[in-house]
Amino acid sequence: MGRWADREMGRRIEIHNCFPPSPHSPIPPSLWVSIILAAGFGAGFSPIVPGTAGTLVAIPFYYFISRIPSPVYEVTLVAFFFLSVFVSEKAERHWGKKDDRRIVIDEIMGFLLTMLWVPQSILSIVAGFVLFRFFDILKPFPIRRLEKVKSGFGVVLDDVLAGAYANITLHVILRILEDNLSIT
């Protein structure tokens, strides 16, 4: 079993249960799938800035689903929200910690919301990434209060609101650029 130092909190975290279960594994396959999804296919096991690593995983995912036409894209986001809540709650119970740093599916959800109705371009993706991380880290009112909501909803809702703030800000920035520079 490997161990990595958690530099942010000055403690050690264990890296385990990130590989497929063996036939003798005490972890049922359904829980293993939830953990892999919650950890953003391993991004949550990053020894430094796992939230940023999870957001980076969201970029190719966004690129793939952004081709889905509206309103199917919006329905996909709603379904992904509930999937995120479900797997976050299972991962919390497994790891025994509220909003464990290894859970990054909420960052993926937040970034997907950040990019809602935004024209797909390198500029918008980079700006969306920076804005989402800014709001997710800063947590302006009332984002921090949403972290207190129980179960997987508390894990995901703060990132959804950070994504909404980032989305609104990104739309304003892109509109200003479009009006003043004719860029998009």
DSSP conformation letters of 115-130? TTTPPP-HHHHHHHHH
Between CA 123 and CA 125 the distance in angstroms is: 6
> How confident is the model at residue 25, as a pLDDT?
61
Q: Mean of the pLDDT values across residues 153-160?
A: 91
Which of helix, strand or coil describes residue 6?
A: strand
pLDDT in tens, 95-124: 888 888 999 999 999 999 999 999 999 999
> How confident is the model at residue 172, as a pLDDT?
96
Q: Mean of the pLDDT values across residues 62-75?
A: 93
> How confident is the model at residue 13, as a pLDDT?
45
18 has pLDDT over 90: no
Low-confidence winner among 45-54, 114-123, 140-149 (lowest mean pLDDT): 140-149
Between CA 184 and CA 181 the distance in angstroms is: 9
Low-confidence winner among 17-21, 79-83, 155-159 (lowest mean pLDDT): 17-21
